[in-house]
Amino acid sequence: MTTPTRRGSATLGRILAMAGKEVLHIRRDIRTLYLALAMPVLMLVLFGFGISFDVDHLELAVVDQDRTDLSRALVRQVTASGEFVAIEDGTSPEAALQQLRRGHAAGVLLLPHGFAEDVQRGTAQVQLLVDGADGNTATQALAKAQALVEVASRQLLGAGAPVQAPPLEVRVRTLFNPDARSAMFLVPGLAAYLLAIVAVIITALTVAREWERGSMEQLFATPVGRLEIVVGKLLPYLGIGVLQVLLVLTVGAWVFDVPVRGSLVALGLGALLFLVGMLGQGLLISVVTRNQMVATQVATISSVLPSMLLSGFIFPIENLPLPLKVISTVIPARYFVSTLRGVLLRGNGLDVLWPQLLALALFAVFVLVLATRRFQRRLD
């Protein structure tokens, strides 16, 4: 009679056999390793540099109709930081608007006739026109330009103009990312996005390959259980996933100066749970499709779109329409992006991030149970 100990040891042996076989496949198919390790790093660097919401060196068409020392000083103040660059310095509003229409300028700063005199009277106004066709740039340009003009006017008016202090003053200080660098919040989101894609696609491909080549038939004729197949097949890819996380975080820190301020335990746990969930999703897709081409397509669509659009990676969850906001609650990338930003930027630990980790764990368990149940040891 087979004892439980012997059964347990046989189970472990079969899981290791499956995992070992998978490692051999990976070693002999360098494309898998490339897809798993080189692609995320390459994409992280490309995306990290390519995607930026930072408003810097924006072209500003300046229309200085006043042509006084004060008006020129204001323009110098506004462009001194380098966030705005004056490309047009004329007196014709039409010419400046033409630059805006052609997309050569992101904004127009108009200083009207009599500006210096109005400043002395305390009734000066400047006009700022921004290109609303690019909403994000327009919003940021508007905020920055307003702040710069305000600061500049305070300094310029120090000479004696009657400046009234507002009854309430807000002093804004941006924490965790004081320079508001896009890379700081994009890299964690990008890491989740890339890991999701690679983990889901690789798993979907490798399991579907077993169906397509018929080796599942051979496996099912042996005593190997479906859970042993699932765990054995996923283990090597979990290892690769952990390597991916380390690589992506290293590149994030090295190339983009993204820090790790919080709990490494929360980070590790979050990454592990997220990867298990993504591998489970890939497995479920391959079990249902049993075809490499279809599996790749389904895996790509089901991982790329949600992890980009519904994870908070680019678009804040709060700004999503209600139906999408509801759907985003079942997207694991949402919780992993939140975990990464929490650990890397805000310095959070388990005490703060446990709800995100719980959500990741629930998704991982749900998808693995579903995949294992659908993964019948039969060919029909």
Partner 1 sequence: MSAEAAVDVELKDVRRAFGATQALRGVSLAVHAGEVYGLVGPDGAGKTTSIRLMAGLLLPDAGQVRTLSEDPAAPRSHVRESLGLVPQRNTLYGDLSVEENLRFFARLFALSKEDFAERRARLLDITRLGRFTDRRADALSGGMYKKLALACALLHRPRVLLLDEPTNGVDPVSRRELWELLYGLVHEGMTLIVSTPYMDEAARCHRVGLLYAGELIAQGAPRELTRAHGVAASDFEAVFLALVEKHTGGRAA
Binding site for partner 1 (CB under 8 A): 9-10, 13-14, 16-17, 20-21, 24-25, 28-29, 213-215, 217-224, 377-380
Q: Beginning with the edge strand found earlier in the chain, give each strand of the sheet holding 58-64 in spatial order.
A: 84-90, 58-64, 107-111, 127-130
Q: Residue 363: which of 239, 241, 280, 245 has the closest Cα?
A: 280
227 versus 352: smaller Cβ distance to partner 1: 227
29 versus 117: smaller Cβ distance to partner 1: 29
**Least distance (Å) between residue 20 CB and partner 1:** 7
**Least distance (Å) between residue 37 CB and partner 1:** 20
**Least distance (Å) between residue 361 CB and partner 1:** 27
The two beta strands, 107-111 and 127-130, are antiparallel
**Least distance (Å) between residue 279 CB and partner 1:** 21
DSSP state of 57: S
For 55, phi and psi rounded to 5 degrees?
A: -95, 110
Q: Residue 107: which of 82, 137, 152 has the closest Cα?
A: 137
Residues in contact with 132: Cβ distance below 8 Å, sequence separation at least 6, in sequence order: 138
**Least distance (Å) between residue 15 CB and partner 1:** 10
**Least distance (Å) between residue 223 CB and partner 1:** 5
32 versus 302: smaller Cβ distance to partner 1: 32
21 versus 72: smaller Cβ distance to partner 1: 21
**Residues 313-343 as b or e (16 or more Cβ within 10 Å = b):** beeebeebeeeeeeebeebbbbbbbbbbbbb
205 versus 333: smaller Cβ distance to partner 1: 205
DSSP state of 166: P
194 versus 216: smaller Cβ distance to partner 1: 216
